[in-house]
Chains A and B, each alone.
Chain A
Amino acid sequence: MREFLWLVPALPLLGSVILMFGSAHLSVRTAAMIGVLSVGLAALIAFVISAGFVLDPPVGGVYQQTLWRWFHVGGFSVDVGLRLDPLSLLMMLVTSGVGFFIHLFATEFMEGEQGYGRFFAHLNLFVAAMLLLVLARNFLVLYAGWEGVGLCSYLLIGFWWGDPLNGLAARKAFIVTRIGDTAFLIGLLLIATRLGTLNIASAMTRAHETLHVASPMVTLIAFLLLGGAIGKSAQLPLHTWLPDAMAGPTPVSALIHAATMVTAGVYLIARTHVLFLLAPIAQFTVGIVGALTLLLAGFSALAQNDIKRVLAYSTMSQIGYMFVALGVGAWGAAMFHLMAHAFFKALLFLSAGAVTMRLHHEQDIFKMGGLWRRLPVAFWSFLIGSAALSALPLVTAGFYSKEAILSGAWADGTRGRVLWCAGVVGAFVTGVYIFRVVFIAFFGEEHTHVSGSYGWRVIVPLIVLSTLSLVGGFIQLPPAFGHITLLSDLLSTVLPAPLGATTVMPLLFASFASISGIVVAAALYWRPTHARADATPLWRFWHAAAGFDWLYDRFLVCPVLWAARIDRDDFIDKIYSGIVWVTRAGHFAVRRTQSGRVRLYAAGLALGSICLIAIAVLR
């Protein structure tokens, strides 16, 4: 069964190709069938392969598949190959499984939209690129998937291209992540020249053998890889594209935030954790970046009125948690939270999409209100998602994964304690901002008229993801609770370090933080009479996410535009405009000779021939 691994990325790619070239001739029904079935089949194959992998592990815990040789230059060869180990297995399951349910939801969400086939073509390509990224055995193949993900995010964020603002958001996402991609590419080139291979596993082994701890080279490589991860995972300071990426349709946001794209950075760091272990400064920077991002994004989410923007900032914040986990070496905890986050963030986005579907795409939470009676399915799913996001103790997946991160930070000495404090404050803020949305949007008085009901294609994904958001955490309990360690057993062959709290104190603290967040939100927004506070400067500061967009605009975009303006007529440009001028002048001079008179042409021919013959004879 394992030899069919290549089908997992190939099937969505095939679906994408069919839809791309045939979407003009396919009916909406067929397009939806192709789009969903290709990912569904991939998810099924991934599931069967994973089951086989767990029950009957291959030798060494790794299954490799070489598809073909990409190129071979002077002893340096690159194979296109797939590598299935517990880490990529987890990512493959999350990407294809959650991706499948998002596709199913999208078939109903996008009904009646222009470019239905095109939408699913790009959605399929997105999943295919992400699967290639996580299954790649080689850095270059990984990079191909990495860029594919970036391309698809551009295509899908700008899906409704009729509005120029959406195009602007798409370009912003592409360009900002491109900055990180460039750093990543330079890092890859350094790995290729320094370690002589781009095969991930052998590069890690060689790095371990040949590079010294904290040597400048390994630190540089780790920082460059971190740059790539920061761009894709929307962490400080390359985070500004993510809130604007909400311009895309809601299933796209769900896909970007849950199954693909933003988790790529976390995966990359976990995959190359050997390098980060060799470069303690880089690893510590990962944790600091994560802590700063989780606080900044959490406070920014408090000041948003758009339901999707709240979720966008919450994603940044949760990825920040994963970075904290990576920074303190709790690799397994990061992957655990990545999985749980995929479940509940997909659930939150899909239920938010289900709400806006019935409100004519109204996303302002202050125009909703009292929806729990009208839209019970969306309400319960959103509530479960919110509970998981705010890590409601004991019953949600988010609690167990976040707890694993926080106890990992707690156990990492003084530096870890600082990150732990940030995490606990973040947990409190998370409870406040997400339940602010719940209370304002779903309780209180009704502000809009809601009509219509949902089909099974909306309800089934919501139910499945709700279930996963609740029980998904039970695969790994903290040692204080019981002895279930399925995830850490699975990951033990690739990622070191244990999972889960050994002491109860920090655990109680974190639980208390998240519960008190929810309580504070309830106290403030249960009766949201004067909850709209857009006047205060503090509110405006956080609404603009601490003004990073303004900062970049003022200090990067404006100087570049200014330099371009004053540089328009410099010496080099003069050369080129001179060439243009000479050409045009010549054109005007010679144009007269094209008189259209055949006899003149003949005379010219004759004269020319006479001259040539004269030269030949008289010379």
Chain B
Amino acid sequence: MATVPLDQGLLLAAILFTLGLVGVLARRNLLFILMSLEVMLNAAGVAFIVAGARWAAPGGQVMFILVLTLAATEVSVGLALILLMHRRIPTLDADAGDQLKG
């Protein structure tokens, strides 16, 4: 079975993570920010899998399952928050919700 080299796998994870981060910082639509967060989480998952395969350790896959669970819960909570915010301020613009500024 051919294995993905460690450096290439980590490079993929880093690119994915940067893409997600740029998405979080650049997009103003809350739904897209949430999706970008998912990308970042999955980038972390890829890094775990690659590392687990490199040292033949099951911990990498275990951590990936944990990341999946975390992502699912994060999405459900995040969507609920977005829904509540949308009811209060009928917009999905992240910068519109700045009422707690000091």
On A, residues with C-beta under 8 Å from B are: 591-599, 602-603, 606
Contact = CB atoms under 8 A, between A and B. Distances in A.
B14 to A, nearest CB: 12
A596 B100 contact: yes
B87 to A, nearest CB: 18
B25 A603 contact: yes
Interface in B1-41: 21, 24-25, 28, 33
B18 to A, nearest CB: 10
Nearest to A591: B102
A602 B95 CA distance: 12
Interface string B82-101: 00000000000011011111
B102 A592 contact: yes
Question: Which 9 pairs across A and B sit closest by C-beta, in order of nearness?
Answer: A596-B98, A596-B101, A594-B102, A591-B102, A596-B100, A595-B101, A598-B94, A602-B24, A603-B25
A609 to B, nearest CB: 10
Contacts of A599: 24-25, 28, 33, 94-95
A309 B95 CA distance: 73
A596 B33 CA distance: 16
19 contacts: A591-B102, A592-B102, A594-B100, A594-B101, A594-B102, A595-B102, A596-B97, A596-B100, A596-B101, A597-B94, A597-B101, A599-B24, A599-B25, A599-B28, A599-B94, A599-B95, A602-B25, A603-B25, A606-B21
Interface in B53-102: 94-95, 97-102
A595 B96 CA distance: 11
Contact of A595 (B25, B28, B33, B98): B98
Contact of A606 (B25, B28, B97, B99): B25
A597 B95 contact: yes
Contacts of A591: 102
B45 to A, nearest CB: 18
Contacts of B98: 595-597
Contacts of B101: 594-597
* Contact-residue size bin, chain B (C-beta under 8 Å from the other chain): 10 to 19
Contacts of B97: 596, 598
Contacts, number: 32
Contacts of B25: 599, 602-603, 606
B88 to A, nearest CB: 14
A594 B99 CA distance: 10
Contacts of B33: 598-599
B99 A596 contact: yes
Nearest to A588: B102
B36 to A, nearest CB: 10
Given A596-B99, A597-B98, A598-B97, 11 more contacts: A591-B102, A592-B102, A593-B102, A595-B102, A596-B97, A596-B101, A597-B95, A597-B101, A599-B33, A599-B95, A606-B25
A15 B24 CA distance: 68
B38 to A, nearest CB: 14
B99 to A, nearest CB: 6
A602 B99 CA distance: 17
Contacts of B28: 599
A602 B21 CA distance: 9
Contacts of B99: 596
A595 B33 CA distance: 18
A591 B101 CA distance: 9
A503 to B, nearest CB: 90
B75 to A, nearest CB: 16
Nearest to B26: A599
A560 B95 CA distance: 58
Nearest to A602: B24
A591 B102 CA distance: 6
Contacts of A594: 100-102
A592 B94 CA distance: 18
Nearest to B18: A606
Contacts of A603: 25
A599 B97 CA distance: 11
Nearest to B21: A606
B40 to A, nearest CB: 10
B13 to A, nearest CB: 14
Contacts of B94: 597-599
Nearest to B37: A602
Contacts of B24: 599, 602
A497 B39 CA distance: 100
A603 B28 CA distance: 13
